[in-house]
């Protein structure tokens, strides 16, 4: 079983378009959309949801006003400015609460309890390409790293049960906890970048994360023909760092049109971007010794 995680350092580089196309090319596959903050895979994968489960990212504090003696100890101890006081009555700012439980532990009146902060859902769905695990984090949701881990573990279990060889993970943007949760223990990471100052900057940051967690790092340059000088610079970086180039994709309006049509690029089009992505998948399958 091989797990390929597609990440990008930042959003909008075409990560999901590439991932969705790979799902169509990979044959038997389990898909995990780990961009739980703003999942997009479902828009192009036509999923039919089979199972929905509530998710609790952690605990938050709740003050019972009838028990609260108004001593203000919680206000003194809270380091997250999550306790508000108005005319001697105390309440929790749910958004600021970190769930540390310090207020509950030290409340002399035992007026505070820690309750489950239910702020998301996760789903197992069927798609034309195979099962997909995805999730939705509630507004301002906390602990997306935990939800990402949950989604990945579910995908692994399904792959194990179905004896599926490939797990395709659409990772989260950034370099914080959700990304770390997206890539730990993966066989390979494909970083999708684009030839711009910020693209290169983000690529450098995210590659060092991938490395840190021991993953094999491949790079895809999307819209490479927008700025050929910058593409050369990225190629130089790939060479210097001894990374692997998975492929280059032309700028192609079909990528946007495929999205609008609710399809993956390779399914929608036989254009330049589609053929670039096909070629890239062949390279990756070869590199990871996947059966095509």
Partner 1 sequence: MKIAVASGKGGTGKTTVAVNLAARAGLRGESAIYVDCDVEEPNGHLFLKPEIEEIRRVEIPVPVIEDEKCNSCGECGKICHFNAIAMILDKVLLFPELCHGCGGCFHACPTGAITESPRDVGKIESGKAYIDAPDGRKVVEFIHGVLNLNEAMPVPVIRDIRKMIPEKKWVVIDAPPGNACSMVETVRGSDYALLVTEQTPFGLNDLELACRTVKELDVPVGVVINRSGTGYTGVSEFCAREGIEILAAIPESMEVARIYSRGDIIVNESGQFASVIDGLLKKLEERTGSAR
Cα–Cα nearest to 193, from 164, 179, 173:
173
Cα angle 290, 180, 248; round to 5: 50
Distance in angstroms (rounded) separating the CA atoms of residues 172 and 191: 11
When asked if residue 210 is in the footprint of partner 1 (CB under 8 A), the reply is: no
Q: Which is nearer to partner 1, 161 or 205 (CB)?
A: 205
When asked if residue 38 is in the footprint of partner 1 (CB under 8 A), the reply is: yes
In the list 202, 252, 267, 276, the residue contacting partner 1 (rule: CB under 8 A) is 202
When asked if residue 177 is in the footprint of partner 1 (CB under 8 A), the reply is: yes
DSSP letter string, 153-175: HHHHHHHHHHT-SEEEEE--SSS
The least distance separating partner 1 from the CB of residue 117, rounded to whole angstroms, comes to 12
Residue 12 falls in which region: left (phi positive, over 0), alpha (psi -120 to 50) or beta:
left
The least distance separating partner 1 from the CB of residue 161, rounded to whole angstroms, comes to 29
Spell out, one character per residue from 247 to 266, where the chain touches partner 1: x when CB under 8 A holds, - when not.
---------x--xx-x----
The least distance separating partner 1 from the CB of residue 160, rounded to whole angstroms, comes to 26
Helices H, strands E: what count in the chain?
11, 11
Only one residue has tokens 């970048």, namely 193
Residues 263-292 close enough to bind partner 1 by CB under 8 A: none
Q: Which is nearer to partner 1, 11 or 27 (CB)?
A: 11
Distance in angstroms (rounded) separating the CA atoms of residues 109 and 47: 50
When asked if residue 59 is in the footprint of partner 1 (CB under 8 A), the reply is: yes
Q: How many residues bind partner 1 (CB under 8 A)?
A: 60
Cα–Cα nearest to 15, from 5, 25, 3:
5
When asked if residue 171 is in the footprint of partner 1 (CB under 8 A), the reply is: no
Contact 42, 49 (CB under 8 A): no
- What residues line the site for partner 1 (CB under 8 A)? 8-13, 16, 37-40, 43, 58-59, 77, 79-80, 95, 98-102, 105-106, 114, 137, 139-142, 144-145, 172-178, 180, 194-199, 201-202, 205, 208-209, 212, 226-227, 230, 256, 259-260, 262
């Amino acid at each position: 079983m091989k797990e390929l995680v597609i990440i990008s350092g930042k959003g909008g580089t075409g990560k999901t378009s590439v991932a969705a196309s790979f799902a169509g090319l990979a044959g038997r596959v389990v898909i995990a959309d780990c961009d739980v903050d703003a999942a997009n895979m479902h828009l192009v994968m036509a999923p039919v949801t089979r199972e929905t489960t509530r998710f609790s990212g952690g605990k938050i504090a709740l003050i019972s006003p009838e028990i609260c003696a108004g001593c203000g100890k919680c206000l003194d101890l809270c380091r997250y400015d999550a306790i508000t006081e108005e005319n001697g009555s105390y309440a929790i700012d749910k958004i600021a609460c970190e769930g540390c439980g310090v207020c509950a532990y030290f409340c002399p009146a035992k007026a505070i309890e820690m309750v489950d902060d239910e702020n998301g859902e996760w789903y197992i769905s069927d798609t034309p390409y195979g099962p997909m695990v995805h999730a939705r984090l509630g507004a301002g949701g906390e602990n997306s790293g935990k939800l990402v881990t949950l989604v990945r573990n579910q995908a692994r279990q399904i792959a194990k049960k179905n004896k599926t060889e490939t797990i395709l993970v659409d990772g989260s943007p950034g370099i914080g906890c959700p990304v770390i949760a997206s890539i730990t223990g993966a066989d390979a990471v494909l970083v999708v970048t684009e030839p711009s100052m910020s693209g290169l900057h983000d690529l450098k940051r995210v590659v060092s994360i991938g490395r840190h967690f021991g993953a094999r790092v491949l790079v895809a340059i999307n819209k490479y023909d927008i700025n050929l000088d910058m593409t050369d610079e990225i190629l130089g970086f790939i060479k210097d760092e001894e990374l692997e180039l998975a492929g280059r994709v032309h700028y192609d309006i079909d990528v946007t049109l495929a999205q609008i049509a609710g399809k993956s690029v390779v399914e929608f089009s036989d254009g330049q971007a589609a053929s670039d992505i096909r070629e890239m998948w062949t390279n990756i399958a070869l590199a990871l010794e996947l059966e095509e």
